[in-house]
């Protein structure tokens, strides 16, 4: 659905639920990781793209000190006091909304100036590694900023050509929301991508220095085709936290060995020191990917994406038979430029760069090939690189 279509669905629901019209609308995209698997929380380099799958928020401020939220995708409602925000059931969607409010209030050093009521609607596939959670976070944050309930945070800071420093600050706030409130050990990639997206562009981020760039994918850009293996991400969630802890343990080992502060992140360890080298070779693939896109070499960029999957499969061991089968099916499909597992790995989706005019044929061949070998028909989403989060006031 387009942002306008999602917004219309949310406005209709808001009117039915609250008996009036909303005054604010915001929208934020999901994302795909193109290169840099498991590098972000290790202070490394990463490339991603915001995609045209979104979370829309509509709502209005309310005079009391509570947040009232209804989520269409879950057919669930929740309300909470701004003065005493506590985490609810682990894995529950309300934690992401409450976490954004909690983190913004922490950054402000004060409460929001009023409560609010809102409706959420989205079409970012859930549990597919496309950062539906970051999409929700960014959309909620932009709703609050547009509403004017965050003192000292003028929405104009986040719009136009001068917005990048403010958006980076907001990405850090939203990452803290996910890490410290929701309890998910994630890097900055997801929030950054949802806030900084640009149509027909990839995003580069140095997670240590926060240097970033928007890199052209061509005009028109290729399709970004996401294939869902239909395997459970519960294992992926547990294994992600395990790999996160393992990476931190490696850093501690080399820091103690060095006896100083030279090693603070896994990025600081040299390839010659590290037998399991995926994170470090991923950083090099990102550097090469930036050069390839700046040179207009989309095929070379695609080969790096496929090399990333091979490294995940062989070095980092965060692939699976199902994900490997999806990549193998993609390699035999028309228009294929490169493909790899997406996000944490172990389950979920692959992301593929595909010639735009062959995307539909590609999707059909991959679905048939995977179904033949695995006995399961995958969900296939043909996406394109999209603009980042935005908001506006509504007129009725």
| Contacts (Cβ under 8 Å, ≥6 apart) of 375 | none
**Is residue 225 a contact partner of residue 53, using CB atoms and an 8 Å limit?**
no
Query: Secondary structure of 170-183 in the HEC alphabet?
Result: HHHHHHHHHHHHHC
Looking at residue 356, the DSSP 8-state letter turns out to be G
Single out the residue of 337, 338, 339, 329 nearest to residue 364, CA to CA: 329
Q: How many angstroms separate the Cα of 119 from the Cα of each of 11, 90, 113, 116, 314? A: 8, 21, 20, 10, 44
| Distance in angstroms (rounded) separating the CA atoms of residues 171 and 181 | 15
Query: How many other CB atoms are found less than 10 A from the CB of residue 364?
Result: 13
**Is residue 202 a contact partner of residue 47, using CB atoms and an 8 Å limit?**
yes
Q: How many angstroms separate the Cα of 32 from the Cα of each of 24, 70, 217, 243? A: 27, 27, 14, 20
**Is residue 227 a contact partner of residue 385, using CB atoms and an 8 Å limit?**
no
Query: Secondary structure of 275-298 in the HEC alphabet?
Result: CCCHHHHHHHHHHHHHHHHHCCCH
Residue with tokens 């001068």: 162
- CA dihedral of residues 345, 347, 353, 357 (deg, nearest 10): -170
| Distance in angstroms (rounded) separating the CA atoms of residues 144 and 174 | 13
Catalytic residue (choose from 123, 190, 228, 268): 190
Return the ∠ at Cα 136 (arms to 132 and 142), rounded to 5°. 145
Single out the residue of 396, 390, 393 nearest to residue 3, CA to CA: 390
| Distance in angstroms (rounded) separating the CA atoms of residues 36 and 336 | 20
For the question of residue 314 being annotated catalytic, the response is: no
Alpha-carbon dihedral sign for residues 128, 130, 134, 135: negative
**Is residue 101 a contact partner of residue 87, using CB atoms and an 8 Å limit?**
no
Residues annotated catalytic, as ranges? 190
């Amino acid at each position: 659905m387009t942002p306008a279509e999602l917004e219309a669905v949310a406005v209709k629901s808001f009117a039915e639920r609250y008996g009036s019209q909303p005054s604010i609308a915001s929208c934020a995209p999901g994302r795909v990781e193109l290169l840099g698997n498991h590098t972000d929380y290790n202070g490394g380099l990463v490339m991603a793209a915001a995609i045209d799958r979104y979370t829309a928020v509509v709502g209005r401020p309310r005079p009391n000190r509570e947040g009232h939220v209804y989520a269409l995708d879950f057919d669930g409602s929740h309300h909470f006091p701004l003065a005493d925000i506590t985490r609810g059931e682990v894995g529950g969607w309300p934690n992401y909304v409450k976490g954004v409010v909690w983190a913004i209030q922490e950054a402000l050093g004060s409460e929001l100036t009023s409560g609010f009521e809102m409706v959420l609607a989205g079409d970012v596939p859930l549990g597919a590694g496309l950062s539906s959670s970051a999409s929700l976070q960014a959309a909620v944050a932009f709703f609050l900023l547009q509403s004017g309930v965050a003192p000292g945070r003028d929405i104009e800071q986040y719009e136009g050509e001068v917005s990048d420093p403010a958006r980076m600050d907001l990405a850090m706030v939203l990452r803290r929301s996910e890490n410290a409130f929701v309890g998910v050990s994630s890097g900055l990639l997801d929030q950054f991508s949802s806030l900084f997206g640009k149509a027909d562009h990839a995003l580069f981020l140095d997670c240590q220095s926060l240097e970033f760039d928007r890199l052209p994918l061509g005009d028109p850009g290729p399709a970004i085709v996401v294939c869902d293996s239909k395997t459970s991400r519960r294992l992926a969630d547990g294994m992600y936290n395990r790999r996160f802890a393992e990476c931190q343990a490696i850093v501690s080992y080399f820091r103690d060995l060095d006896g100083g502060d030279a090693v603070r992140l896994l990025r600081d360890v040299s390839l010659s020191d590290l037998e399991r080298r995926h994170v470090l070779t991923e950083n090099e693939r990102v550097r090469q990917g930036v050069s390839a896109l700046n040179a207009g070499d989309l095929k070379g960029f695609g080969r790096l994406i496929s090399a990333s999957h091979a490294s995940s499969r062989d070095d980092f061991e965060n692939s699976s038979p199902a994900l490997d089968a999806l990549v193998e099916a993609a390699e035999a499909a028309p228009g294929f430029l490169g493909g790899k597992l997406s996000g944490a790995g172990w389950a979920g989706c692959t992301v593929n760069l595909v010639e735009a005019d062959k995307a539909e044929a590609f999707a059909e061949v991959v679905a048939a090939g995977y179904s033949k070998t695995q006995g399961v028909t995958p969900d296939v989403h043909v996406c394109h690189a999209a603009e980042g989060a935005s908001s506006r006031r509504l007129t009725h």
